[in-house]
Structure 1
Amino acid sequence: MPVPNAATPPTRDSSIGGLLLESGKITPENAERVLRMQRELGIRFGEAAQRLGLITEADIQQVLARQFDYPYLQANEGKFSAELVAAYQPFSPQVETLRAIRSQLMLRWFATGRKSLAVISINPDDGAALFVANLAIVFSQLGEQTLLVDANLRAPRQHELFDLKGRQGLSDMLAGRAELDAIAKIDSFVDLSVLSAGTLPPNPQELLNRPAFGALNGRLESRYDAVLYDMPALALGSDGLAIAARAGGALLIARKNKTLLADLNTVSRQLSSTGVKVVGSVLVDF
């Protein structure tokens, strides 16, 4: 009798029926009913389950997305913020725009061998935190090992958006009080991880300017395909300039009818003078 190899994981059933069972959409007993109808009528498993009223079209679409490694969530599923439209409304016009931006960033920045990108806004209410959170999700849906770092050590948001309250984070790592296990793997999105801001320090600018931040960025780049930094608005201080300098590239976020063009030009010149490449700019409207 062959000895089983304990190191070999069991084969995962990626069929529609297997995924519906795994996700709890149908029970084993109901699966037998579906199989009987499937055989009698010669139709697909999912269609039979729908005819029996066991699942909805939305359930089918979600399982198909998992078959093709394109995970997303249904409304009220998970504990994440509903503002994460890339998670809950992946086929909406807003997310199509996000995917177009992702494609441009892949071509203009990440395809050149770079791995880190800082996302910068001028004012605190320009929507950069929400934008970069959704951008990180669409990067992970591409199959890129993606890390979202909340480097806003003044008014962080990522711990709220991804329900990571009470965790250690970036500040704790920079202070030597935490290691890489502070990074949270977001199981709903196979290739997405988030490093929250952690304990709010009294000296965020000095903390981010320490050599430890550069060393940490190097470690993160060695583990992930894309490292996206959510940063404090430049109106609150110059923390973002230090982060962008480590990342090497920046994406500017402007809010329609609010962010001044003169301010964007000033920031672009500041970044360029420190050797940071401005990869592009995005105008958000909300």
Structure 2
Amino acid sequence: MENVSFNVTFELTLDPFFIPPGGKYPIFFLGVVIYLFCVFCNLTLLVLIIMQKNLHKPMYFILFSLPLNDLVGITAMLPKVLSDIITETNKVLYPLCVLQGFLLHMYGGGVLFILAAMAFDRYVAICKPLRYSAIMTPRLVVVIISLVWGLDSVLIISLFSLQTRLPRCRNSILNVFCDNPSLLKLTCGDTTVNNVFGLFNTAIMQIISVSIQVYSYVKILFACLVTRKSDTKNKAINTCLAQLAIFIIFEIVGTFTILSHRFKNVSADLQKIMGMLIFLVPPLLNPIVYGLNTNEVRNTFFKVFKTKVFAK
């Protein structure tokens, strides 16, 4: 029970970054720019999908979940971190800490399941183009989206519910934001069940997401090798490479973050930075990869932009 304080309070202390003298304001303004850019890009993509009838297709209905999920992730993390940097308070109320951790884990699981759903949609579109409309019916699209958010919710709620059985005896979060591993370190009971269930949750998410994506991309690869239409092949390859790049980046950063909590010799600041990248990189890249890199979305955006500008 070394270094354990039983003077439990409603207010928790976060572990801040080491920021060199004069670096506080540049880091804060850079963070604000990144956040506003992410919000603008993701909101633009959401509004386009809602307002433009030519984007009312199964692919874009499924894609709609991605910028929505990105907004949840980056908003749950970055504003609080930036506020702590500029005010140097590094305090958070326990219920808000739990809420932040819950939303961040919902975001992480959401990324995996949404990318899997999008991979399945691309598999049907590229490998079964003549049957696409018959397979990707509105009913199936609703089922897919419901499974994405429903399964994610069940797994994350179960994970956080396990913490209610453990007494809390610490007040210091060993991170710049709240997540399940950091919250678990506030307890003084046996956390074996929580750790095992956390790894089980991660494994289930990875197995479901990776299996669907590997199956889809292998089928797409074979379809590309068989087809003689160069435009179809190039379109399929570009779509797959873009999505795979996002998935691989997320996996690398996420895997390091998860493993870093289980090794004591990892630098605390490096652990914090890598943890933040999970919630920064996808929201920055996704609107570009799935927005500007998609011909239909890009053309719709410029068409709407020109209409609004010249209308004035």
Q: Normalising by structure 1, report the TM-score.
A: 0.29
Flag the structure with more relative contact order, 1 or 2, with Cα contacts below 8 A and sequence separation at least 6.
Answer: 2
Structure having the larger proportion of residues in strand: 1
Q: Normalising by structure 2, report the TM-score.
A: 0.27
